[in-house]
Amino acid sequence: MKKHLLALAVLAIAGGAFAQANDTVAKVKASGVITMGVRDSSGALSYTLGDGKYAGYHVEICQRIIANVEKAAGRKLEVKYLPVTSQNRIPLVQNGTVDIECGSTTNNATRQKDVSFAVTTFVEEVRIAVKANSGITSISQLNGKNVATTTGTTSVQTLRKNERAQGIDFKEVFGKDHADSFLLLESGRADAFVMDGAILAGNIATSKNPNDFKIVGEILSVEPIAIMMRKDDAALKKISDDTIKDMIKSGDMAKVWDKWFVQPIPPKNTRVGLPVSESTKAAWANPNDKPMEDYAKK
C-alpha cells in the first residue's frame, strides 16, 4: 500500500510539473520571470537595438500582453529577452526556455501541431528583393541565379511551389538569420532574397544605401504572422488574444502599426514605409488564429 501511495504521489508531482509547463501564468507567478523570444533582424516586427535591447511591432504587442500576464499573476515580472532563430524558435518554446515568441513566425498547420498562436496581428506577403540595377523584375528571371533565404524558413519552398517558378532552375544560398541573408544580396553572393515583404523592407530601410535595392515580382504567398506560445496553454492564449482584440477595438493596434511601419524608427530614424494592407485589416476585423493553408483556399 505504501508503494502504491508513493507511486501516486510521484505521478501527482509529475502531473503538476507537466501542467505548469503548459501554464505560463502559473510558471511566471512562481519564478517572477518571463522570457520573450525576439529576433535580431525581422524588419520592424522584431529587431535589436544593441546592448540587449529589442524593439518592434511584435515586441510592443508582447509587452502589452505581458502587462496583462502580470495582472493575472498578481506580481511584477522581470522580462528577459532571448534572441531566437528560424531554426530554434519552436523547440525553445516547446521546451519552456521561451514563454512567448514575438518575432516573425508564420502560423501554419504543421506548426500548429507543436505550438499555439495568438490571433493574427500581421498578414504578410512573400516577395523578392533584388539590387535596383539588376534588371530582375519577376520570378521568371531567376533562372540560373543564386537566391538567398534564411535557414529554417518556408520562403524558398513557397517560391518553388509557385506555378510561375515551374522550369526555373536557381541555386539556394542560406543565411543564418535575416541580416545574414540580406548581406548575401548586398555583397553580390545572391541575386535575390526571398522573404516576407516586411522583413525585406525593414532590412532595406536600415541598409547603408536603401536606394540600391527594391522589392519586385509577384506575391508568392499570403501568410498570417502571429505571436507564438506553448501548445494547450489556455491561460496565456486567452490573455494574448484578449489583449490583441482590445488593441484592435480601441484603435491602438493601428497606432502601433503606424509607429513601426510608417513613422521613422530607431536607431537610424529610417522609415520602413509599409502602410497596413487590406489583408491585415481583414484579419483585424475578424480576429482568428487560422493557419496559412486557410488563406490559400479559393
User: Domain with 33 in it: what CATH number?
Assistant: 3.40.190.10
User: What is the domain extent for residue 179?
Assistant: 124-224
Backbone dihedral region for residue 269 (phi beyond 0: left; psi -120 to 50: alpha; all else: beta): left
User: Does 290 score more than 50 pLDDT?
Assistant: yes
Last residue of a domain, one of 224, 253, 288: 224
Residues 220 and 239 in one domain: no
Specify whether the CB–CB gap between 221 and 85 falls below 8 A: no
Residues 15 and 114 in one domain: yes
Q: Record the pTM.
A: 0.79
Alpha helical stretches, state H, 143-233: 155-161, 178-186, 197-205
pLDDT digits (tens, 9 = 90+) for 211-247: 999 999 888 888 899 999 999 999 999 999 999 999 9
User: Does 13 score more than 90 pLDDT?
Assistant: no
User: Does 9 score more than 70 pLDDT?
Assistant: no
Residues 61 and 148 in one domain: no
Number of domains in the chain: 2
Burial status of residue 69 (CB atoms within 10 A of its CB: 0-12, 13-18, 19 or more): buried
- Specify the pLDDT at position 23: 95
Last residue of a domain, one of 224, 248, 264: 224
Beta bridge pairs of residue 228: 101, 117
Residues 174 and 235 in one domain: no
What gap in Å lies between CA 182 and CA 210, rounded to an integer?
Answer: 12
Residues 117 and 265 in one domain: yes
Residues 6 or more apart from 80 whose CB is under 8 A from it? 33, 34, 35, 36
Confidence band of 14 (pLDDT split at 50, 70, 90):
very low
Specify whether the CB–CB gap between 65 and 20 falls below 8 A: no
The overall average pLDDT reported for the chain is 90
pLDDT digits (tens, 9 = 90+) for 109-166: 999 999 999 999 999 888 999 999 999 999 889 999 999 999 888 787 788 788 677 7
- Specify the pLDDT at position 157: 78
Last residue of a domain, one of 202, 224, 246: 224
- Specify the pLDDT at position 187: 97
Residues 142 and 211 in one domain: yes
4 C-beta neighbours (distance < 10 Å), count: 8
Specify whether the CB–CB gap between 130 and 136 falls below 8 A: yes
- Specify the pLDDT at position 7: 42
- Specify the pLDDT at position 21: 58
Residues 14 and 110 in one domain: yes
- Specify the pLDDT at position 11: 42
Residues 170 and 88 in one domain: no
Residues 140 and 9 in one domain: no
pLDDT digits (tens, 9 = 90+) for 131-141: 999 999 998 89
> Residue 267: is the preceding peptide bond cis (ω within 30°)?
yes
Residues 9 and 116 in one domain: yes
